[in-house]
Structure 1
């Protein structure tokens, strides 16, 4: 049986570059190499593209950049090439691409748009859905339009804030009250998120958010549990088990997500089966509302006391590191990591070229 030529895209010019490299190692360590002819295509923090043909153990900490195997290469937007062009003019035709890129310039529709131009099937959401889910303000607006419950929120750009900062602050405080979570509209892995208890902290939090993106989203504080659902599929998606991470920090920030071993993982989440089923149903509703395909991880709050289920965000390229929830949640319902990777690639090929 002829192997499927698969490109794994990793790294990227984003604040989540390191996590992407670890995720790519996770996939490459679990993929069925008998089925795929794998091409590893790495993107540096500066945006340079290289074909990497060395040990996957070199991916973390950017040790892959020291490899003598590196060759300048990129995916061409030319649909006739349908794949990679190297610095010496070699063309490598691809059957499918797995973009293991988190955050800006990878999860936001940019790479997906390139692959759509090239007419190469790829794992995950298309450019429109990726961009919509990456931008928290757009996600929130779509959720409102579809009647999906979420925290109270508001949003403004850096330009709007610079023109009349007091109006923006008054709007946020009057609508949301303290404490307030401040987030860059386009960032992942909880990068740039702060919690403000007063106006001074709100101003500092906006400065942090605007370092990551030109638009900030502000949300009311929700006293509740943070839970996550892994979703898989195109037209008929399925939701895995509901998981929960009890953060070691005041909230689930980048450090507690990846560096603090005191954060606790619970699969299934510490909720009744009926409430977990409600969360799974809400995840499928949000997945469809945002036109997701392939995979996404849908994150929710479940409030204390009345247990309202509130959408937090949707991650279209969830982490695939050893501690990441997405593969663990499917393992909990009997779909192992290797099978999960096969299913994701099959879904990309099933959808075919997107024009």
Structure 2
């Protein structure tokens, strides 16, 4: 039987470059599993931090060592791709953050007319933009915490408008609240604020990252997550919970070993588990996701309320990441999960 050539696409131009390499290494190990070796051949493609595409020995070296190329010598040309791209039967993009999970690379792969793992242009773009995402969730009737969408122009362009904007945030959302760039992943640029001074500083900082900003009301709740797998008839995993001692689940807490614990499965009432699973599938369909997603929720134990927080259409994929661990606990081991994702990509292309 002819093996399918899987184009493993990793690295990228976002701040999550190293996380992408770690995810790719885990996927490569899974594809080296005995049952997968008989079906798939890995073709590694590494996108340097300057955007230059590498294939062959250079890409394989980064995949083997886990070490990014720090000082690229090439002048980037995004429209010149390695000739090996023509050999790919199915792409497995594992590029986290901007230019990786926001619909841009998905558009390129769509033009390439070769199947690829994960959501398409629409699902990726909506899943990345927190404002568009919340609009889609609201249309689907999913409960959310109060929030306000803001533009960079409101923060920087008119000094007369800015104080009124802060007044409105204080009166409608109160403290504490969270200020987030709309289009950055993995808690980059997010701040928890408790005063006017902190709010002004956080808005200014968020505006330096993105022209679209979102401010959300804080809530005392347990942070739980559900993994979704499939295309038009997706399935939901068991529920996991994140616990941490830091002020909130920021970038440092997320990626520093020992700063957060994953509890799988989470100790939740059966009715709450079922409700979260149903809402996760609703969210997946609301943004037109495909293949895989992780959906995050707030569970207010005191009242029994569940609020959807966000969907991540291309979550971290290391062996210790929440998404594969949730499926392992549900009965699908990592190696089989990778195989199923490739099969869903082929199914969707038909």
Q: In structure 2, how many angstroms separate the alpha carbons of the residues matched to 1:49 and 1:211?
A: 28
| 1:327 match | 324
| 1:305 counterpart = 2:302 | yes
Once the two structures are TM-superposed, the CA of residue 332 in structure 1 deviates from its matched residue by 0.3
What CA deviation, in whole Å up to 9, does each residue of 1:121-178 have, x standing for no partner?
A: 1101110110011000011111111110011001111112222212321221121011
Contact 1:28 1:56 in 2 (8 A): no
Instruction: Name whichever of 234-243 and 49-58 sits farther off.
Output: 49-58
| 2:68 match | 62
Q: In structure 2, how many angstroms separate the alpha carbons of the residues matched to 1:90 and 1:33?
A: 20
Contact 1:242 1:329 in 2 (8 A): yes
| 1:142 counterpart = 2:146 | no
Contact 1:156 1:216 in 2 (8 A): yes
| 2:315 match | 318
Q: In structure 1, how many angstroms separate the alpha carbons of the residues matched to 2:65 and 2:189?
A: 25
| 2:217 match | 220
Q: In structure 1, how many angstroms separate the alpha carbons of the residues matched to 2:120 and 2:225?
A: 22
Instruction: Name whichever of 257-266 and 294-303 sits farther off.
Output: 257-266
Contact 1:27 1:320 in 2 (8 A): yes
Once the two structures are TM-superposed, the CA of residue 321 in structure 1 deviates from its matched residue by 1.9
| 1:40 match | 44
Check 1:316–1:91 CA distance in 2 against 1; reply closer, same or farther (3 A cut).
Answer: closer
Give unpaired runs (5+ residues) of structure 2: none
| 1:28 match | 28
- Using the size of structure 2 for normalisation, the TM-score is 0.92
Q: Tell me how many residue pairs correspond in the alignment.
A: 341
Q: In structure 2, how many angstroms separate the alpha carbons of the residues matched to 1:179 and 1:323?
A: 31
Instruction: Name whichever of 105-114 and 38-47 sits farther off.
Output: 38-47
| 1:276 counterpart = 2:273 | yes
Contact 1:21 1:59 in 2 (8 A): no
Contact 1:52 1:64 in 2 (8 A): no
SS of the equivalent of 2:258 reads coil
| 2:231 match | 234
Q: In structure 2, how many angstroms separate the alpha carbons of the residues matched to 1:56 and 1:4?
A: 22
Q: In structure 1, how many angstroms separate the alpha carbons of the residues matched to 2:120 and 2:271?
A: 32
Contact 1:153 1:219 in 2 (8 A): yes
Once the two structures are TM-superposed, the CA of residue 322 in structure 1 deviates from its matched residue by 3.2
| 1:160 counterpart = 2:144 | no
Q: How does 1:91-240 map to 2 (within 5 A)?
A: 92-162=86-156, 163=158, 164-240=161-237
Contact 1:302 1:310 in 2 (8 A): yes
- Using the size of structure 1 for normalisation, the TM-score is 0.90
SS of the equivalent of 1:251 reads coil
Check 1:336–1:212 CA distance in 2 against 1; reply closer, same or farther (3 A cut).
Answer: same
Once the two structures are TM-superposed, the CA of residue 96 in structure 1 deviates from its matched residue by 0.8
SS of the equivalent of 1:183 reads strand
Q: In structure 2, how many angstroms separate the alpha carbons of the residues matched to 1:90 and 1:5?
A: 10
Once the two structures are TM-superposed, the CA of residue 276 in structure 1 deviates from its matched residue by 1.1
Contact 1:12 1:42 in 2 (8 A): yes
Q: In structure 2, how many angstroms separate the alpha carbons of the residues matched to 1:90 and 1:226?
A: 43
| 1:14 match | 14
Check 1:118–1:90 CA distance in 2 against 1; reply closer, same or farther (3 A cut).
Answer: closer
Once the two structures are TM-superposed, the CA of residue 65 in structure 1 deviates from its matched residue by 7.8
Q: What RMSD in Å do the two structures reach over aligned CA positions?
A: 2.2
